[in-house]
Amino acid sequence: MREGKMANTLYDALFAPLEGSARRLLLLPDGRTLSGGAFAAMVARFAGALVAAGVGPGDRVAVQVAKSPEALAVYAATVAAGGVFLPLNTAYTAEEIGYFLGNATPRLFLCDGAKADALAPVAAAAGAQMLTLNGDGSGSFAAAAQGQPERFAAVPRGPGDLAAFLYTSGTTGRSKGAMLTHGNLLSNAAVLAEAWRFTAADVLLHALPIFHTHGLFVASNVVLLTGGAMIFLPGFDRDEVIRLLPQATSMMGVPTFYTRLLDDPRFNRQLVEHMRLFTSGSAPLLAETHLAFEARTGHRILERYGMTETNMNTSNPYDGERRAGTVGMPLPGVELKITDPSTGASLPQGEAGMIEVRGPNVFKGYWQMPEKTKEELRDDGFFITGDIGVIDADGYVSIVGRAKDLIITGGYNVYPKEIELLLDEQEGVLESAVIGLPHPDFGEAVFGVLVAQQGARLDPAAIMAGLAGRLAKFKQPKGLAVVDELPRNTMGKVQKNLLRDRFKAQFAG
Ligand code: AMP
């Protein structure tokens, strides 16, 4: 921060250093590069356009736009203008967008020109002004920014002020707007940059969406804070990733990125010999994938765990052992405990229970949902994550499942992960998902959904026999189904709610 200038916590740390910088910041797949200075000038013009559109401190700016340098600049510009950035999944329908705009009441809504006709009434109903920003950087918002100056004095904002709303993915119930402050985002970026040794020499291959915490905050903020560059891809395309990996030093991914790369023989040791780091998160990385990746490349993927509401909570160590099937230890400044889901009392080491976390990374609450906030965020600052986990004797945390996926059959608790791990070991099984289905006698019955390895034919009776000696009777699936693939959302999470819906009549009557 320069003398005489008021502070804007996040802008000063992430974006101000780019002003006038000739260093490359964004490397685009068509070979173009954008310097830090060019990006900062675009941010200034966009911030001017936001202010001209009436965006003031605390106002929400909602966007449903394709990933592009311009989309990233809207995030930076919103922060500079003192607003609250609200990115929305590009897959959401007009009806879903209607809910988000109605709930968040943004001053401004940016969407792709191709969707403008469908979304205009939705924006109008929420009282938001609508402008367009297309994937190629054109649109009415870009046009409005044209004449704006290339310098902008960032609006003062402190660590406790809101910087972003990210809506939870909402696989149960309605999505909630998680309120994240400048301090939440900056503290987590600083902790991750240090833990993962990011420097100005890094070139991160960025193929994640930027409407989600992983691509927007974990990936982009860490690189921006440390002065490196990003190969900025519109999405994950295996050919493009393989073509561009030689220019990268590091990559952050969801597990499906890594399984898709492993499916390609061009992805080999030589291709990634020069790489410094691969990280994984947002969904569980199977131990099998971790081991196959190491066997193929010599790299051990560094798995970490976080969520929209908390940013990142735990990480495997950079230098120490990266243990397959675990999410590592709490990051510096993060307190993590395992509690009894019904009483909230701490459980002894080694027992599975609710993961609760506290630290500067934890959000302020859900937007206009004080009841929900009170249910999940304790008065003492611990957030009840909804994830069930266990800590081993060396302090490594493993995620056993989501609390809502816990199966209660005949009064006994069954954690799906335990059964899934055994199913995955059976001959011909590629992967599995275990769910609870309504059952007239047991309340819920354990049910397994399987995907076969390529070319394999699964024999459910043989698979059941394979489990028989290894699992208590009540944990054994009462039925198995084979499907072509498991339903996953964009972040690679298996959508168990869809499976429960599809198979719900299995044990009816
Ligand atoms: P989101 O808010 O969309 O980032 O989703 C957060 C949820 O993803 C967490 O509460 C976990 O259930 C899950 N998750 C994130 N990282 C991991 C991981 N490394 N292993 C298992 N589950 C994860």
Q: What does the pLDDT look like over 259-292, one tens digit per residue?
A: 999 999 999 999 999 999 999 999 999 898 999 9
- Compute the average pLDDT of residues 414-430: 92
Kindly indicate the confidence band of residue 490, based on its pLDDT and cuts at 50, 70 and 90. confident
**Nearest C-alpha neighbor of 253 from the set 211, 296, 285:** 285
Q: How far is the CA of 279 from the centre of ligand 1 (A)?
A: 14
Q: How far is the CA of 166 from the centre of ligand 1 (A)?
A: 15
Look at residue 114 and tell me whether its pLDDT is greater than 80.
Answer: yes
For residue 168, which atom of ligand 1 is closest to its CA?
2
Name the architecture of domain 10-194: 3-Layer(aba) Sandwich (3.40)
Look at residue 252 and tell me whether its pLDDT is greater than 80.
Answer: yes
Name which residue sits closest to atom 5 of ligand 1, judged by CA. Answer: 307
Which helix (DSSP H) or strand (DSSP E) does residue 434 occupy?
Answer: strand 429-439
Lining ligand 1 with CB less than 6 A are 168-169, 213, 281-284, 303, 305-308, 327, 385, 387, 399, 402, 491
For residue 308, which atom of ligand 1 is closest to its CA?
2
The predicted pLDDT at position 410 comes to 82
Beta bridge partners of 355: 338
Look at residue 57 and tell me whether its pLDDT is greater than 70.
Answer: yes
Look at residue 31 and tell me whether its pLDDT is greater than 60.
Answer: yes
Q: What is the pLDDT of residues 134-183, one digit of tens each?
A: 999 999 999 999 999 999 999 999 999 999 999 987 555 678 999 999 99
Name which residue sits closest to atom 23 of ligand 1, judged by CA. Answer: 283
Mutational test site, ligand 1, from 256, 279, 304, 307, max ligand atoms within 8 Å of CB: 307
Q: Are strands 329-330 and 277-280 parallel, antiparallel or unpaired?
A: unpaired
Share of the chain above pLDDT 90, in %: 88
Kindly indicate the confidence band of residue 3, based on its pLDDT and cuts at 50, 70 and 90. very low
The predicted pLDDT at position 6 comes to 78
Mean predicted lDDT score pLDDT of the chain: 95
The predicted pLDDT at position 112 comes to 98
Q: What angle do CA 143, 212, 106 make, to 5 degrees?
A: 50
Q: What is the pLDDT of residues 180-211, one digit of tens each?
A: 999 999 999 999 999 999 999 999 999 999 99
Look at residue 65 and tell me whether its pLDDT is greater than 60.
Answer: yes
Q: Can you give the residue ranges of every domain in the chain?
A: 10-194, 236-360+369-402, 406-503
* Exposed e or buried b per residue across 147-158, where buried means at least 16 C-beta atoms within 10 angstroms of its C-beta: ebeeebebbebe
Rounded Cα distance, 77 and 139, in Å? 17
Residue 285 falls in which region: left (phi positive, over 0), alpha (psi -120 to 50) or beta: beta
Q: CA of 330: how far to CAs of 85, 278, 307, 316, 356, in Å?
A: 28, 19, 14, 9, 11
CATH fold of 236-360+369-402 reads Rossmann fold (3.40.50)
The predicted pLDDT at position 406 comes to 86
Of residues 470 and 227, more confidence is placed in 227
For residue 280, which atom of ligand 1 is closest to its CA?
19
| In contact, 396 and 342? CB cutoff 8 Å | no
Q: What is the pLDDT of residues 335-348, one digit of tens each?
A: 999 999 989 999 99
Q: What is the pLDDT of residues 232-245, one digit of tens each?
A: 999 999 999 999 99
Q: How far is the CA of 456 from the centre of ligand 1 (A)?
A: 30
- The residue to which tokens 């798995």 are assigned: 303
* Exposed e or buried b per residue across 400-433, where buried means at least 16 C-beta atoms within 10 angstroms of its C-beta: bbbeebbbebeeeebbbbebbebbbebebbbbbb
- Compute the average pLDDT of residues 306-332: 97
Rounded Cα distance, 102 and 122, in Å? 9
Q: How far is the CA of 283 from the centre of ligand 1 (A)?
A: 5
Look at residue 390 and tell me whether its pLDDT is greater than 50.
Answer: yes
The predicted pLDDT at position 509 comes to 66
Tokens of 122: 């939705």
Name which residue sits closest to atom 20 of ligand 1, judged by CA. Answer: 284
Q: How far is the CA of 126 from the centre of ligand 1 (A)?
A: 31
Exposed, middle or buried by CB within 10 Å (0-12, 13-18, 19+), for 348?
exposed
Of 39-53, 149-163, 453-467, minimum mean pLDDT range? 453-467
The predicted pLDDT at position 353 comes to 94
Mutational test site, ligand 1, from 282, 313, 356, 361, max ligand atoms within 8 Å of CB: 282
Same-fold call for 10-194 versus 236-360+369-402: yes
Rounded to whole angstroms, the maximal C-alpha distance in the chain is 75
Look at residue 226 and tell me whether its pLDDT is greater than 80.
Answer: yes
Mutational test site, ligand 1, from 398, 399, 402, max ligand atoms within 8 Å of CB: 399
Which helix (DSSP H) or strand (DSSP E) does residue 143 occupy?
Answer: helix 140-145
Rounded Cα distance, 287 and 299, in Å? 14
Q: CA of 311: how far to CAs of 74, 101, 181, 334, 405, in Å?
A: 21, 23, 11, 11, 22
Instruction: Name 184's Cβ contacts closer than 8 Å, sequence gap at least 6.
Output: 163, 311, 360, 361, 362, 363, 364
Q: Are strands 203-206 and 250-253 parallel, antiparallel or unpaired?
A: parallel
Q: What angle do CA 219, 188, 26 make, to 5 degrees?
A: 25
3-state SS class at 76: helix
Of 291-295, 382-386, 441-445, minimum mean pLDDT range? 441-445
Name which residue sits closest to atom 7 of ligand 1, judged by CA. Answer: 307
The predicted pLDDT at position 2 comes to 46
- The residue to which tokens 């009894």 are assigned: 340
| In contact, 432 and 420? CB cutoff 8 Å | yes
The predicted pLDDT at position 170 comes to 59
- Phi/psi of residue 394, each to 5°? -95, 5
- CATH match of 406-503 with 3.30.300.30: yes
Q: Are strands 60-64 and 33-35 parallel, antiparallel or unpaired?
A: unpaired
